[in-house]
Amino acid sequence: MKDLSYGNEGRLILKFAIPMLLGNIFQQMYGIIDSVVVGKYIGKGALAAVGTSGPIIFLLVSFIIGVTMGFTIVVSQYFGAKQLDNVKKAINTLYVFTFFTSIVVSVGGIMLSRLIFKVIDLDPAIVPDAMLFLNIFLAGLIFLFGYNGTGAILRGLGDSKTPLYFLIGSVGLNIILDLIFVPVFHWGVAGVAWATVISEACAFIAQIIYLNKYHKVVKFSFKDLTFDYEIFMKSIKIGLPTGFQQTFVAAGMVALYWIVNQFGVDANAAYSAAGRIDNFAAMPAMSFAVALSTFVGQNMGANRPDRVKAGLRATLMMTSIISLFISVITVVFGKLLMRMFTNDQVVIELGGDYLRIIGSFYILFSVMFVINGLLRGAGDTLIPMFISLFSLWIIRIPVAYILANNPAIGVHGIWWSIPIGWLSGVVLFYGYYRMGYWKKKAVVKYKATAEQVT
């Protein structure tokens, strides 16, 4: 556990973010490895099937992931205020919540999977593989929720290293199982799905065994689990807007796939593969944003709002430098990166164009995500939810549809709609941050000192 309310702001955020960044990179390796194995050993149809399943999975789990962020902020603020009894209550309440919701999402997702693929107009030849992958993944959802929930708790306590160690082991196991189940056993997309589920299950079980033996605060026991309604409602108040935000973002991703599907299997495969690289490139900004959220949460809980702005400045500087470096890599080597997934030249060209366009604007995504991370850490999630929905559903999706239906632009219009949406998000998030309402949203309340009032 790490107290982030004292010490150099930039150095603390960097040291906290690096293990989390490595963890997120390894997390993305699940999708990267699955796509590489599928694209190389099965074909572009299977690549499109697995790629299309990704946004569907995100759509089904995004609400719970968003609500879990509310618990993380509550944990970090209670920890910053040194209220360890409430920290333990929040942890137990989160476990109860995720256990039951994972079952509901798994059953509901499996029942609706065929309908979902029909709604997004997926090529009928791809649907069987897409359904197979999705249903196997959903069957093991409880392990994903359990592992990610525990990792979120640890990060709220200032521990970003422990989740990394278990994730590295999980990704290593996933690689081994992928290479056994697909090239050796010839299980196709089912092999990739089972490799992911087994890897996540092993990671969660190993994580619980380790924490029960060595950690002072985080313990897991079915018989000792308790549900605290008051803490649950505080977490929901913060997490619910984030949950809705995540859900509508996921729905936006699915809507983009619906537009992409109008251009055939090649465009779908290109979008799926390039999207894996795009997700990988977004990891630094997302990791630093989560680190900033925890930093802000602890400092607001410790009544140190003066440190928040310094933390934001340091985070923006670090993420901007990293984003510019990543932009150069994706723009210059985009087509080469696409060759990891497929040998199909049409898919490579389309994916390379995507990375050239999107990669040029990663700094916009970085700024948008970091400011959102500050607001979330302060417990201010409602207005940011509306900002995210506006930039996605009022800007990005309509622009994608309009440009894609222009014969002179075509599928490239979808690519251009993404940075246009980011730009609108940056303007709105920064404007709202400057208003300062986030300063009044902390879970732990303090009376303002004379210095703070002035």
Domains of the chain by residue range: 9-453
Task: Retrieve residue 290's tokens.
Answer: 């989560």
Which of left, alpha, beta for 6 (phi over 0: left; psi -120 to 50: alpha)? beta
In whole angstroms, give the CA distance from residue 120 to residue 105.
20
Residues ≥6 apart with Cβ < 8 Å to 16: 2, 4, 158, 160, 291, 294, 295
Q: Mind listing the pLDDT tens digit of every residue in the chain (454 residues)?
A: 566 777 888 899 998 888 878 877 777 776 777 778 888 788 878 888 888 887 788 888 888 887 887 888 888 878 878 888 888 888 888 888 988 999 999 999 999 989 988 888 888 888 999 999 999 999 999 998 888 888 878 877 777 788 888 888 988 898 899 999 998 999 989 999 999 899 999 989 888 888 788 777 777 777 778 888 998 998 888 888 878 878 888 888 888 888 998 898 899 889 988 988 888 888 899 999 989 988 888 888 778 888 999 999 999 999 999 999 999 999 999 999 999 888 889 999 999 999 999 999 999 999 999 999 999 888 888 888 899 889 989 999 999 999 999 999 999 999 999 999 999 999 999 999 999 888 887 666 554 443 443 3
| Under 8 Å between Cβ of 322 and 294 | no
Neighbours of 17 (CB within 10 A): 25
Task: Retrieve residue 30's tokens.
Answer: 């699940």
pTM above 0.75, yes or no: no
C-alpha distance from residue 65 to each of 171, 193, 236, 292 (Å): 20, 20, 12, 18
Task: Retrieve residue 382's tokens.
Answer: 């409602």
In whole angstroms, give the CA distance from residue 182 to residue 41.
7
- Residue 91 carries which side chain, given as an amino acid letter? I
